[in-house]
Amino acid sequence: QQQVKQSPQSLIVQKGGISIINCAYENTAFDYFPWYQQFPGKGPALLIAIRPDVSEKKEGRFTISFNKSAKQFSLHIMDSQPGDSATYFCAARDNFNKFYFGSGTKLNVKP
Amino acid sequence: DSGVTQTPKHLITATGQRVTLRCSPRSGDLSVYWYQQSLDQGLQFLIHYYNGEERAKGNILERFSAQQFPDLHSELNLSSLELGDSALYFCASNRIRGAGELFFGEGSRLTVL
């Protein structure tokens, strides 16, 4: 049973466009929702994260929107650039400090 | 550089063999997590250690085992290897209940022939 469901599996966006990746969860005990970015051959690296008492967090071109009642959160990448081409993982942490990852979204930003 | 060190970076071995993957967490981090990432797949949680004690187990096969030593480094042992064990194995560390960020190493790529 997958605790965090992520979509889409892959995404192609033109340079300058908006990339949107969605995640949904079931466990209301999750208390921390990070997004990780992974380039080929590298380990995932934290991109941006949010706690459930906040509905939105923005860092530069990256924004997390969080809907607690719907148990959904999403990553928006504004003005997408070819350098943003990577695999993105959403995740959620439970109160045992265990992290559950989504299945990943492979983003390709075309020049 | 995340501060998490994993060795070896690449490993090629044969079916039936046993390998050990090593992880040194960031300085001061007490928690170590192991994840498996198969080709184009997500991150499958294997096991979590905190200060030498096992805290949680995920979908870890009985052929796999891990431990965390007093100096906080961790080892993941994979035995009776099968072709399907070929994957990237990531180690991550963090300070329990801290900022929550997991810091990942660059992974160990295991190829079983």
Summarised one tens digit per residue, pLDDT across range A53-65 is 999 999 999 999 9
Of B40, B42, B107, the CB nearest to A89: B42
Q: Which residue of chain B comes nearest to A47, CA vs CA?
A: B101
pLDDT above 90 (res A23)? yes
Element (H, E) at B55: strand B53-57
pLDDT above 90 (res A94)? no
Residue A1's pLDDT band (cuts 50, 70, 90): low
Over range B8-21, report the average pLDDT: 97
Q: Cβ of A46 and B55 within 8 Å? A: no
Separation CA A20–CA B49 (nearest Å) = 34
* B70–A contact, CB cutoff 8 A: no
Higher pLDDT, residue A23 or B39: A23
Q: State whether residue B84 is helix, strand or coil.
A: helix
Say which range, A6-20, A26-40, B7-21, B90-104, has the weakest mean pLDDT: B90-104
Residue B40's pLDDT band (cuts 50, 70, 90): low
